[in-house]
């Protein structure tokens, strides 16, 4: 079975600063995908970034980047130049490949950006 | 806007009742997924359909059922509702190139069982 662990239930960061959210996972699979989703107060689930396990290069999307350590089964999200709109719950998710079916979600990290 | 639509947005009903939640996937997506998010909890996978066929099943109760129709929209049926079924129910879809693996979520249906 796959498990995803987010060990930081709540975090806060000053506006314009950098914050890193942690995620670890447990799997015996070699090929898989990893995702970060954010859920703002509107409760909409919004894709932040995705990473294929076979790619060594860390994914980057504007102010969001990941530190993917496959051997350590770690997938952290770094948010640079934090903005008030980044305040949200952030979920780490794992998906096996090639079955590409369900996501296994972590329990989430609630991030608050302080003005 | 993810392109995934869900109706209704809110639903209030009583214990013992039956409700149907509807989802229309993004244009071109063949897979539909249903998730349940209870208060202050993460998302629990319920079930996946691919092009009309059930593909994977998660923690879905026997009181719950789903189907995907030829036009690819999906419905989640919840029956004999209990207070504990109150939750946000998300539908997601995937399959359209180039990111065939990425799931795009609808806005959710908030179900309240009184």
How do the pLDDT tens digits run along chain B, 114 residues long?
Answer: 889 999 999 999 999 999 999 999 999 898 999 999 987 677 899 999 989 999 888 889 999 999 999 999 999 999 999 999 999 999 999 876 555 678 899 999 999 999
Give which of B113, B79, B99 is closest to B3, Cα–Cα. Answer: B99
What pLDDT, on the 0 to 100 scale, is given for residue B1?
81
Q: Please state, for a pLDDT cut of 70, what percent of chain B lies above it.
A: 95
In this prediction, residue B56 carries a pLDDT of 87
Q: Which of B108, B68, B112 is nearest to B92 (CA)?
A: B108
pLDDT at B87: 96
In order of A22, A43, A63, B36, the CA distances from A107 in angstroms are 12, 15, 23, 13
Shortest alpha-carbon distance between residue B51 and chain A (Å) = 13
Q: Residue A56 pLDDT more than 90?
A: no
Return d(Cα A55, Cα B52) in angstroms, integer: 32
Q: How many Cα atoms are found within 13 Å in the side-chain-facing hemisphere of A49?
A: 19
Q: What is the mean pLDDT of residues A50-77?
A: 94
Q: How far apart are CA B12 and CA B76, in angstroms?
A: 16
Q: Does A96 touch chain B (CB under 8 A)?
A: no
Question: Any residues with CB less than 8 A from the CB of B4 and at least 6 apart, and which?
Answer: B23, B24, B25, B26, B91, B92, B93, B104, B105, B106, B107
Segment A52-59 mean pLDDT: 89
Three-state DSSP at B48 gives strand
Beta-carbon separation of A37 and B45 below 8 A: no
> pLDDT value at position A15?
97
Contact A107, B42 (CB under 8 A): yes
Cβ of B42 within 8 Å of Cβ of A103? The answer is: no
Q: Which of B4, B37, B47, B103 should one mutate to test binding to chain A, selecting the residue with the greatest count of A CBs within 10 A?
A: B103
Q: Which residues of chain A have a CB within 8 Å of the CB of B55? A: 101
Confidence (pLDDT) at B95: 79
The verdict on a CB contact (< 8 Å) between A102 and B45 is yes
Closest by Cβ to A102, choosing from B2, B33, B107: B33
């Amino acid at each position: 079975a796959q498990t995803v662990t987010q060990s930081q239930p709540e975090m806060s960061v000053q506006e314009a600063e950098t914050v890193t959210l942690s995620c670890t996972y447990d799997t015996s699979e070699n090929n898989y995908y990893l995702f970060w989703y954010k859920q703002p107060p509107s409760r909409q689930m919004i894709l932040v970034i995705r990473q294929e396990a076979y790619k060594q290069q860390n994914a980057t999307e504007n102010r969001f980047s990941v530190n993917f350590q496959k051997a350590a089964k770690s997938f952290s999200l770094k948010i640079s130049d934090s903005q008030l709109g980044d305040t949200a719950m952030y979920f780490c998710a794992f998906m096996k490949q090639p079955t590409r079916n369900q996501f296994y979600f972590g329990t989430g990290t609630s991030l608050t950006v302080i003005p | 806007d993810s392109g995934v639509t869900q109706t209704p947005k809110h639903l209030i009903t009583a214990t013992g009742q039956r409700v149907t939640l509807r989802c229309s996937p993004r244009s071109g997506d063949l897979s539909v997924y249903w998730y349940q998010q209870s208060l202050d909890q993460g998302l629990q996978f319920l079930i996946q359909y691919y092009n009309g066929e059930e593909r994977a099943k998660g923690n879905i109760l026997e009181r719950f059922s789903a189907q995907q129709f030829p036009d690819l929209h999906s419905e989640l049926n919840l029956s004999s509702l209990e207070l504990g079924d109150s939750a946000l129910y998300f539908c997601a879809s995937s399959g359209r190139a180039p990111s065939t693996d990425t799931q795009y979520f609808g806005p959710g249906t908030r179900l309240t069982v009184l």
